[in-house]
Chain A
Amino acid sequence: MPNDPEQFIEQMIEAAKQRQDLSAWQHHRDRETSDLANLILDLSSLPRHQIEMPDLAKIQGRVLDRISVPQSEHRGIWASIPSFLKIGSAVFGSLLIVVSLTMGVAVAALQSGPDSAIYPLKKIVENIELRLTPEQEVASRQMQFAITRVEEIQAVIEQQQQGQLSNQEAKQIISATVKDLQKSTSAAARNTKAQPRSAIVNKLADINNKLKIASINSEGEVRIEIEKALQSTQDSQAEAIKNFEESGVKIANPPSDNNITASGKLTQVTESTVNIGTAKFLLTKETKYVNLSAADLKAGLVVDIIGQIKDNKSYADQITLIEPKVSGESTVRTEIINPEIVPLDPNSTTETQTAH
């Protein structure tokens, strides 16, 4: 065997795979070399199973469909239309939407959830809206759709927990919704390269927060789907922050991974937990109460909860009573403490205010 046996073996394997003549090695007087050459030859000529290949072009189409919509760089002819014409089209389109909204089906579609038969119509209306949105507002519109998707996910989890949807149904619906969410957040983050906006960073952080809570309060395959969304939203957030900072503005306090807040009507109260919709918070000795005491907690109160995630559980650090007699909505409205944004360059003209 030569000095570098690993390299020598590599050469033999390469030669065997190239169907080159290995006889010099096979009949080498060094027995070890000849045995190795024969072994490698046998291994390289093992008969393989022929597997039936799928329609790779069809899968390619599916991949391209998932990665390319909605995406500003593929807006095609629309991008070349002068903005005054776009505004005209937008007015016309809005009229169309208004007209269609007068039709019961369209109204119902816009309010429908992803488990509804008319939900695809909602997506069509959204796509039309996106097409009619002026270039500078596209990222905001995409974020709006992303937030809608998160609210839909929360609603599906609620339905699953109430037994209205089976685990399998919930998983399927959430999986599809998560894919739409990923499209919207990644497209919005890409758009921040051309138009850095603090509002996009804040909204992405808000979505992260909501997904974190949703993830804690879900289980099984649904949870895995939500964790996928969480991962891609975090990636989008990092991309948006990077684009934002490259524009000359830095984010002084990037959003923390563990802090969460939720606001809304308490839907369930036990001795050790409170719920706002699907968001469940554990109460501890350290939980502080503002404008109320622990004994006052009851379903129906509207509160702000500041908390943190530890060991995959959400703990309430502070509960502030907002309104005791509000007929507020029961859907979860969560938000993070928005990152503080300061200009790196005092002459920078980029937006420096935190938008909500």
Chain B
Amino acid sequence: MTDSELKQFLERAQNGDSAAFSRLYDEFAEKLYRFIFFRVGHKEVAEDLLSDTFVKAWQKLKQVNSPAAITGWFYQIARNNIIDYYRIKKDFVPLEEVAEFLEDAVNPIDTINLNMDQAKILELLVKLPGEQRLVLQYKFFEDLTNEEIAYILNKTEGAIRVIQHRALIKLKDLVKRKSK
């Protein structure tokens, strides 16, 4: 979908056109499903959360000020739904403790088919500080953009670029040290 199409469908959907909203669903559903599935690890639950994500998005669609913001905004709703799901499951844990639920329940990486370097990298990835690890996982495991990651982690895109830079430098140093 081009930027102008996205703008057009968003505006129409904001005016109550469910057919236009349907086009937005076509555009984002698959990626959002993957995002949710990896975090809940259950097909039916992921389907329900995906459906809830779009219903909530429809109800609050007027909050979106620009087409550029919509992708990240969808992820933010999905993230909140995942947190709600775990809060129910874990019987009301405090909000500050729910960030850990955004870790993957299912590893998106097929660890059986890794080459030696990749296996080493994955092993060292867990040694990174939590936020740095999350940014690399979102970026390289799930192909999310900086903008999407920024929404999910409630940070600016600039902050994500800084975290990403630090994470890669640190990981590179860890790999180097391990190779010696």
Contacts and interface: CB of A to CB of B under 8 A. Distances in A.
A117 interface: no
B60 A235 contact: yes
A46 B165 contact: no
A332 to B, nearest CB: 25
Which 8 A-B pairs give the minimum distances between C-beta atoms? A47-B110, A43-B140, A47-B113, A6-B161, A63-B54, A6-B165, A67-B58, A49-B110
Interface stretch (A52-60, A77-85, A343-351): A52-60
Given A62-B51, A190-B16, A48 B108 contact: yes
A27 B146 CA distance: 27
A11 to B, nearest CB: 12
Interface in A23-64: 32, 35-36, 38-40, 42-49, 51-54, 56, 59-60, 62-64
B30 A56 contact: yes
A67 to B, nearest CB: 5
A13 B87 contact: no
Contacts of A10: 146, 161, 164
Interface residues of B, number: 56
Contacts of B55: 63, 66-67
Interface residues of A, number: 45
B16 A54 contact: no
A224 interface: yes
Interface of A: 5-7, 9-10, 13, 17, 32, 35-36, 38-40, 42-49, 51-54, 56, 59-60, 62-64, 66-68, 71, 73-74, 182, 186, 190, 220-221, 224, 232, 235
Given A60-B22, A224-B84, A232-B59, A43 B165 contact: no
Given A42-B121, A59-B29, A9 B164 contact: yes
B139 interface: yes
A40 B172 CA distance: 9
B168 A40 contact: yes
A32 B173 CA distance: 9
Given A9-B168, A56-B33, 5 more contacts: A47-B114, A54-B50, A66-B51, A73-B16, A73-B17
25 contacts: A5-B165, A6-B165, A10-B161, A13-B139, A39-B168, A39-B175, A42-B117, A46-B109, A47-B109, A47-B113, A47-B114, A48-B110, A49-B108, A49-B110, A51-B37, A52-B43, A53-B33, A56-B33, A59-B50, A59-B51, A60-B26, A67-B54, A67-B59, A220-B91, A224-B87
B107 interface: yes
Contacts of A51: 34, 37-38, 106
A299 B23 CA distance: 56
A39 B30 contact: no
Contacts of A64: 18, 21-22
A94 to B, nearest CB: 29
Contacts of A54: 33, 43, 46-47, 50
B172 A39 contact: yes
Nearest to A239: B62
Given A6-B162, A59-B50, A73-B16, A46 B59 contact: no
Interface string B19-41: 00110011001100110011000
